[in-house]
Amino acid sequence: MIGLILFAIALVFLFFGYSVAFTFAGISVIVGVLTLGVDLFAFMPYRIMSIMENTILMAIPMFVFMGIVLQKTGLAERLLESSAKLFGTIPGGLAISTIIVGALLAASTGVVGASVVAMGVISLPVMLKNNYHQPTAAGVICASGTLGQIIPPSIILIILGDVMGVPVGDLFKAAVVPGFLLILGYTVYILILGKFKPEYCPAMVVTENKRDLLIQAAKDIVPPLILILSVLGSIFSGIATPTESASIGAVGAMVLAKFYGSFSFKNINEISLETVKVTSMIFAVLIGATAFSMVFSYSGSEYLIEEFFLDLPGDKWTFLIIAMVAILVLGFFIDFIEIAFLVVPILTPVAIAFNIDLVWFAVLISMNLQTSFLTPPFGFSLFYLKGVAPKGFKTTTIYKGVIPFILIQITVLLLVLLFPEQLIFF
């Protein structure tokens, strides 16, 4: 029961807002030393060294760097403005352009916070100026910003690939169709809303010449699209590993910044510092989670969990339903990184025992964790948007706006759960 007590204590501390990395590490050391002895941690330095030498995880800082370059140099702003003018003339067009740009940013960066903040700063004021229904505007921005969780190159897919021992390239391929279904689901919902509730998402008045708009849109959209295709195409074709393609993306983002005239060494310095902060947070959590998993495994709790699920009626489907519901509920209260490092290592051996395809399982988890960004009361996308929303924009307004998109995400998750062979490229 040592591992289960450790798990319960960690959850309590996380609910009270304590630092994730130090909660994992501190509680693991205290509980491990008191119950299993200090010798348990003799191999910890070697585990830390293996983390730092892991070439797959090297992709994380480069993809983070790529995303922050697009945000800080104004490239995301150009994308949003051009797309808004292209699609804004139809009811819901401005919201659809936000979804499309959210997908492009997701495929460029994999960083949710950067996408939500960028679109909150640029798109939300335009929506409000065009008399958009406030909850609808908030929901569109939060939902499209979280597409970075599932659309490659997703940071969470890289983390899950390492935690579950699955090739990251396979996860990227498998996530393409589910990601497209989410984009399609969001777009169809907005089109239906524009048809039956046009006052919720009215059309924009665009005065520019259509030809000029198309030329400007091509200048703003095509170069980032080439960068996305270069990054993902190099992975899918087998030309480059995810780590090598991440370096292509990082360099390509700087080339784009230079192309648009927004490159400066001052910007690169700020972007590098921000990248170091985000990357340090992720790796600190990973090291703390390694200590946690050591205590949990050596206490025998893995076998206890495995036996519990194997003895349940309903075979693998009971396990999958319980696992998905548990992750969904935990997502209401704790961050996706905590779930990835705390819960996934416990569930993975059980999935292997049931002969569940780990690529499919990882995609299901990733889609579920995407929902955690939207679920009140602690969905991170809600707080990202609240932080950049105009004064007087209520948190309850954001909560109301995300509900339809949470339902869309759960619907697509169920489709992927029930029809894996049709929707997942293994």
Please give the pLDDT value at position 168. 87
- Domain match, 15 and 93 both: no
- Domain match, 185 and 329 both: yes
Instruction: For 217, list phi and psi in degrees, rounded to 5.
Output: -65, -40
pLDDT at residue 156 tops 80 = yes
Please give the pLDDT value at position 413. 92
Structure tokens at 29: 């050391």
Please give the pLDDT value at position 329. 80
pLDDT at residue 361 tops 90 = yes
Q: What is the pLDDT of residues 215-238, one digit of tens each?
A: 877 887 788 788 878 887 887 777
Please give the pLDDT value at position 363. 92
- Domain match, 238 and 326 both: yes
Domain boundary among 251, 275, 298: 298
Greatest distance between any 2 Cα atoms in the chain: 74
pLDDT at residue 426 tops 60 = no
- Domain match, 49 and 64 both: no
Please give the pLDDT value at position 377. 64
- Domain match, 63 and 192 both: yes
Please give the pLDDT value at position 362. 93
Among 154, 182, 159, 112, smallest CA distance to 382 is for: 112
Host domain of residue 9:
1-53+265-298
Domain boundary among 247, 279, 298: 298
Q: How many CB atoms lie within 10 A of CB 207?
A: 5
Domain boundary among 276, 298, 320: 298
Structure tokens at 171: 């996860």
Among 34, 52, 53, 47, smallest CA distance to 293 is for: 47
pLDDT at residue 348 tops 70 = yes
Structure tokens at 49: 């060294």
pTM: 0.78
Q: Which burial class, exposed, middle or buried, applies to 196 when counting CB atoms under 10 A from its CB (0-12, 13-18, 19+)?
A: exposed
Please give the pLDDT value at position 70. 73
Respond yes or no on whether the N-terminal peptide bond of residue 198 is cis (omega within 30° of 0).
Answer: no
Q: Distance between CA atoms of 344 and 364, rounded to whole angstroms?
A: 12
- Domain match, 113 and 179 both: yes
Q: Distance between CA atoms of 378 and 382, rounded to whole angstroms?
A: 8
Q: What is the pLDDT of residues 408-417, one digit of tens each?
A: 999 999 999 9
Instruction: For 374, list phi and psi in degrees, rounded to 5.
Output: -105, -20
How many domains, in total, are found in the chain?
2
CA distance readout (Å), 301 to 7, 68, 84, 305: 10, 40, 52, 6
- Domain match, 220 and 248 both: yes
- Domain match, 234 and 364 both: yes
Residue-averaged pLDDT of the chain: 82
- Domain match, 290 and 372 both: no
- Domain match, 271 and 382 both: no
Selection from 82-96, 268-282, 311-325, 350-364 with the highest mean pLDDT: 350-364
- Domain match, 177 and 269 both: no
Q: Distance between CA atoms of 424 and 408, rounded to whole angstroms?
A: 18
- Domain match, 47 and 69 both: no
Q: Distance between CA atoms of 95 and 190, rounded to whole angstroms?
A: 7
The residue that leads in pLDDT, 301 or 34, is: 34
Please give the pLDDT value at position 215. 82
CA distance readout (Å), 308 to 203, 312, 324, 356, 397: 55, 7, 16, 17, 41
Label residue 335 by pLDDT band (50, 70, 90): low
Least-confidence region, from 28-32, 109-113, 388-392? 109-113
Label residue 178 by pLDDT band (50, 70, 90): very high
